[in-house]
Chain A
Amino acid sequence: MFKKFSSEDVSAQNQVKASVQRKIRQSIAEEYPGLEPVLDDLLPKKSPLIVAKCQNHLNLVLVNNVPLFFNIRDGPYMPTLRLLHQYPNIMKKLQVDRGAIRFVLAGANIMCPGLTSPGGALDDQVGAETPVVIMAEGKQHALAIGFTKMSAKDIRAINKGIGVDNMHYLNDGLWKMERLD
C-alpha cells in the first residue's frame, strides 16, 4: 500500500480540532491498551495533532511532523513501524519463515504457508480483519504491519492464499518518510 508513497501523495494536512483529537486518541487507546501509559508522551496534549489526508482514503496522524499512526477509510489506527519498533509488544504478533522475508520486503501480502511452516508462528487469538505485526524468523524486530484476511484458525485450516494483507513494511514509502514537512 505504501510501496510508492511520498510527500506528494499527501493531498491535505490540517490540524484537527480538539474533539477529533480526543476521538483519535481514544480509538488508539482502545486498540492498543499496551500503549496507554506512554500515550501522553506519544501524543502530547499540548502539541498540535496533525492529520494528513492522502490518496486512497488514507489518513496519517502526525505529531511534530513525524508520522505515528495511519488508518484507512475510518478503519483501525495502525502504528508506523518506527513507532512499533520502540514499543513492540502492543500488537498481536504473527511470524513468517525466513524464506518469506524477501517477498514481504518487496511488498507482497503474507501467504498462509509462510505462517504455518516451521519457521512461522501464529497467535491463535488473532481474529479476522485485525491489525497485526509481522515478525520474521530469527529476527528481533518487526518486519511489517498487516491486516488479517482470515482468523488464525482459518489460516491454519485453509493454509492457502493470502492470510494477511501487507499494509506497511520496512523500506516502503512510509518507512522512508521519517518526517513530513
Chain B
Amino acid sequence: MAEKPQPVKVLYCAVCSLPAEYCEFGPDFEKCKPWLLKNAPELYPDLLKDATGKEADKVSEQLQSVGISSGGGRDGAASTASPGDSSSNKLEEVKRLPGGKVKKKDKQEVVIEKVVRNKRKCITVVKGLELFGIKLSDASKKLGKKFATGASVVKGPTDKEQIDVQGDISLDIVEFLTETWPDVPEAAIYFIEDGKKVPVV
C-alpha cells in the first residue's frame, strides 16, 4: 500500500442522505424516486419502467414481483418482503415526527440555565438570544447594568455564543427580557431544571 488510495466518491441521495442504492430502504422511498430517476437511474431499473408506464403502476409492480420470484427461490423471499416495505414506509411517515423535533432546535427560543459555581454562588446562562437578532454584546451590557453584576458573552460548549450573568437572576430575567426586547415572546423562553427543559409560562 505504497500509493495513496483515492477516496471513493459515493453518490448520496439529496432527499434522504443515504447512499443512492439504499434509498429503497430509506425513510421515504417515494419522495426519493424523482431524484433517483434523475441522478441514478441505473440503480433502479424498475423505476424507469414505472415512470414510462405510470398509469399501470400497480400492475407493473405485480409484474416485477412475478419476475423476481421466477428469478430464484431466495429472491422470492425478497419479493414477499416488498409489500412489507411499503407498510413500513407508512410507519416511517409517522415516526418522522421526532425528526421534526430535531429541526425544532433552529426555532427561536431562549434557554435559561442556572449553573451552581461554588455552593452558594451561581451563574445564569442565557442561550439563544442571537436567534432573535439581538446583539449579544449589547444584551450582556444591558443585563449587567440591570442586575448590577458581571455579564459576559462566552463561547458555549458547541461554539455557540451565550451570555453568562453572575448571580441567580433566573426569576427576574424573564420579565426583563420580554420588556427590553418585545420581539422575544414569553412562550419562547425556557428554563432548564434538572436537565429538563421547562417552559416559563
Residues of A within 8 A of B (CB): 4, 6-7, 10-13, 33-34, 36-38, 41, 85-89, 97-99, 101-102, 105, 117-119, 139-141, 143, 170-171, 175-176, 180-181
A36-B1, A37-B1, A171-B16 known; A86 vs B10 contact (CB < 8 Å): yes
A140-B21, A180-B158 known; A89 vs B5 contact (CB < 8 Å): yes
Q: Which residues of A contact B22 (CB under 8 A)?
A: 101, 105, 139, 141, 143, 170
B157/A12 in contact, CB under 8 A: yes
Q: Which residues of B contact A37 (CB under 8 A)?
A: 1-5
Residues of B within 8 A of A (CB): 1-5, 7-10, 16-19, 21-22, 25-27, 74, 77-78, 81, 84-85, 88, 98, 102, 105, 157-159
CA distance A41 to B6 in the complex (A): 11
Residue ID in chain A nearest B3 by CB atoms = A37
Q: Which residues of A contact B21 (CB under 8 A)?
A: 139-141
B8/A88 in contact, CB under 8 A: yes
Q: Report which of B8, B10, B81, B157 forms a contact with A102, defined as CB distance below 8 A.
A: B81
A119/B8 in contact, CB under 8 A: no
B158/A175 in contact, CB under 8 A: no
Q: Which residues of A contact B74 (CB under 8 A)?
A: 97, 117-119
Q: Which residues of B contact A6 (CB under 8 A)?
A: 102, 105
B25/A105 in contact, CB under 8 A: yes
Q: Which residues of A contact B158 (CB under 8 A)?
A: 7, 10, 13, 180-181
A-B contacts, 16 of them at CB < 8 A, read: A4-B98, A38-B5, A38-B7, A85-B19, A99-B78, A99-B81, A102-B81, A102-B84, A105-B22, A105-B26, A119-B74, A139-B19, A141-B10, A170-B22, A171-B17, A180-B158
Q: Which residues of B contact A10 (CB under 8 A)?
A: 157-158
Residue ID in chain B nearest A8 by CB atoms = B105
CA distance A89 to B7 in the complex (A): 11
CA distance A92 to B7 in the complex (A): 18
Residue ID in chain B nearest A33 by CB atoms = B1
Query: Taking the nearest CB of chain B, how far is it from the CB of A30, in angstroms?
Result: 15
In addition to A4-B98, A102-B25, A176-B17, 20 A-B residue pairs with Cβ atoms within 8 Å of each other are A7-B158, A12-B157, A13-B157, A37-B1, A37-B5, A38-B7, A86-B10, A87-B7, A89-B5, A99-B78, A101-B22, A101-B25, A102-B84, A102-B88, A139-B19, A139-B21, A140-B19, A140-B21, A143-B22, A175-B17
